[in-house]
């Protein structure tokens, strides 16, 4: 019973994202985003953008910038994986 309590406490205090999601996010970012973002927007690494804001930008692009829509390129889950990677990555 003690082990279950400890597990539940750990689950409560730590995010429920898996390492696999973060690794997939890194691969997707490096394959499809890094060409522009590592050169022109290095502050995206370690982003503090909330998940929903990030998803909206990736799916719809940003007017007046070179950031286009990637709605047809990524699933919502893939965008979440990229966000998980970026928000946990060290600059």
As a three-state string, the secondary structure of the chain is CHHHHHHHHHHHHCCCCCHHHHHHHHHHHHHHCHHHHHHHCHHHCCCCCCHHHHHHHHHHCCCCCCCCCCCCCCCHHHHHHHHHHHHHCCC
Q: Is residue 57 part of a domain?
A: yes
Q: Would you say residue 38 lies in a domain?
A: yes
Whether 9 maps to a domain, the answer reads no
Total domains in the chain come to: 1
What pLDDT is attached to residue 82? 95
Residue 52 forms part of a structural domain: yes
pLDDT confidence of residue 14: 60
Name the residue range of residue 36's domain.
17-88
Residue 65 lies in a domain: yes
Is 11 contained in some domain? no
Tens digit of each residue's pLDDT, the chain (91 residues): 777 676 566 555 565 567 778 899 999 999 999 988 877 676 788 899 999 999 999 999 999 988 999 999 999 999 999 999 999 887 6
Whether 10 is in a domain gets the answer no
**pLDDT for res 20:** 79
CATH number, domain with residue 34 = 1.10.760.10
């Amino acid at each position: 019973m003690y082990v279950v309590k400890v597990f539940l406490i750990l689950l409560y205090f730590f995010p429920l994202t898996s390492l696999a999601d973060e690794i997939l996010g890194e691969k997707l970012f490096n394959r499809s985003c890094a060409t522009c973002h590592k050169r022109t927007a290095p502050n995206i690494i370690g982003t503090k953008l909330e998940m929903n804001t990030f998803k909206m930008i990736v799916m719809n692009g940003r007017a007046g910038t070179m950031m286009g829509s990637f709605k047809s390129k990524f699933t919502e889950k893939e965008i979440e994986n990229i966000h998980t990677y970026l928000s946990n990555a060290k600059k």
